[in-house]
Amino acid sequence: MTALGYNFGYLDENTKRMIRRALLKAVAIPGHQVPFGAREMPLPYGWGTGGIAVTASVIGTGDRLKVIDQGADDTTNAVSIRRFFAKVAGVATTESTAEATIIQTRHRIPETRLREGQILVYQVPMPEPLFRLEPRVAETRRMHALADYGLMHVKLYEDIARHGHVAISYNYPVLVGGRYLMSPSPIPAFDNPKMDRMPALQLFGAGREKRIYAVPPYTSVRSLDFEDHPFQPVRADAPCALCGSRESYLDEVLTDDQGGRMFVCSDTDYCNTRQTHREAAE
Amino acid sequence: MTPLDSMPLTPGFADPVADAQSCFRALLEAMARPGRVQRLAALPEAPAPLSPAAAAALLTMADAETPVWTDAGPAAEAWLRFHAGCPLVARPGEAAFLLASGPMPPLAALAAGTEEEPHRSATLVLQVAALEEEEAWRLSGPGIENSHPLRVEGLPDSFLPDWAANATRFPRGVDLVLCAGPRLVALPRTTRIEEAG
């Protein structure tokens, strides 16, 4: 049952059609940022309005929606957005990565490998990967047109010269389909390899910056690097304190003011599933 | 009163919100996985010579903001004007969406966008005789794991060279939606086509 007084999915049909046209062009030109008209949402910019606009334009009654915030299903942002769509679209929601058909995410890619038939919707604060290097939008558009990404390579080189390694731990720039430089949104660099040739469709929505972009399934997504300094995803060198995983991305949690700390999986569904399996085995 | 005014107008989508959504998902899936045939579940009653899938694609994508070009004749034009509310243009080069039921308009004459704004390009919805996932062409490119088979009946002989020329302009270029009856296949500008065998 959807909320009375709202169109299905909250947005009006004209807006959905405009976003749908932008999505189709975004898929046709992998990694290229397509402008769209971001509508006012019942939550402020910075809370995932771009992702919500994309999800609202894509979602149907048959979908099952999962929303994660930094990997967690149970944080305020994730719970609010899940409830929002349960209310305005009447869709089923889930916390299980495997069961979801649409996964809206803030800053993580689930640990469970995504499959065909799933759509991953990223909330993007800043879609322009070059914005710290070149503040003029007109100039960055020109650079994308010419595939002139030397500036980013210089930045990576300077990092290596200064620190001995590329000092970017999240929002690590990627080259999509061998053509467009793209911001993967602030996911940890650890998640970057999951984007490469992913069987699921990846859609990106930036509400404040009013840009949509996409990576079709099975498309090459390469993290920028150098032959003598290959890209290396970073992960805390510890097992998860709850499920024992040595593969998953970890959050560091302070437990007291005496320097106590523990590492736990950032992906709550992955961690809970592993704990349940372990208990069942015991 | 002109004969057009007295012609009965057939309905569009029975449930406009849900039908447009399901049709869009088929289009998105088609564009994301080139060569896979999508069968549309919700189809409008379009006047001849419009195929149901082509008519549904236009209803899903076109509105007052998108100039549309079509060769499908006055009944189809009236139907599109009423249900999609789209302006119709006479020159193919000015259209955001083209619905071709007859000869294929030359790809080189359509809007291909600019280097900076390649998304300002036309989408050509082309009605063809048949679409099958059979080994006549081998498709590759983004959205395709290795290669994907496709057989299309009813394209002009010059299609493959024209399509190859379209790809050389990347990121500029035209995207294609092929429709036959209730089925459609999308070929985004990134898809490469080889003849099998």
At residue A3, the pLDDT reads 66
Alpha-carbon distance values, A271 to A41, A243, B94 (Å): 32, 6, 54
Give residue B4's pLDDT band: very low, low, confident or very high (50, 70, 90): low
> Considering its fold, how many domains does chain A have in total?
2
The Cα A10–Cα A91 span in angstroms is: 12
Residue B175 to residue A28, Cβ atoms within 8 A: yes
Q: How far, in Å, CA of A139 to CA of A50, rounded?
A: 24
**Residue B3: pLDDT above 60?**
no
Q: A253 and A113 in one domain?
A: no
ipTM of the prediction: 0.96
Residue A144 falls within a domain, yes or no? no
Judgement on whether residues A85 and A107 belong to the same structural domain of the protein: yes
Instruction: Give domain status of residue A98, yes or no.
Output: yes
Residue A37 lies in a domain: yes
Q: Is residue A157 part of a domain?
A: no
Do A113 and A252 lie in one domain? The reply is no
Question: Would the pLDDT of B1 be above 50?
Answer: no
What is the mean pLDDT of the segment spanning B188-194?
A: 98
Predicted confidence band of residue B7 (pLDDT cuts 50, 70, 90): low
Residue of chain A with shortest Cα separation from B141: A219
**Quick one: A101 and A46 in the same domain?**
yes
Q: State whether A247 and A211 are in the same domain.
A: no
Judge whether A207 lies within some domain. yes
Domain residue limits, chain B: 13-195
Instruction: List Cβ neighbours of A107 (8 Å cut-off, separation of 6 or more).
Output: A69, A70, A71, A123, A170, A185, A186, A187, A188
* Residue A103, strand partner residues: A66, A120
Q: Taking Cα atoms as reference points, which of A273, A240, A239, A206 lies closest to residue A47?
A: A206
Mark whether A23 and A117 lie in a shared domain.
yes
In angstroms, the CA B164 to CA B137 distance is 13
User: Over 70: is that where the pLDDT of B6 sits?
Assistant: no
A205 given a catalytic annotation: no
> Which domain does A254 fall in, by range?
235-282
> Over 80: is that where the pLDDT of A202 sits?
yes
**Are residue A183 and residue A210 in the same domain, yes or no?**
yes
Identify whether residues A79 and A51 lie together within a single domain. Answer: yes
Residues on chain B touching A57 (C-beta within 8 angstroms): 24
Fold of B13-195: Rossmann fold (3.40.50)
Within 8 A of B97 by CB-CB distance, chain A residues are: none
Q: Who among A7, A8, A217 is closest to B32 (CB)? A: A217
CA distance B150 to B193: 9
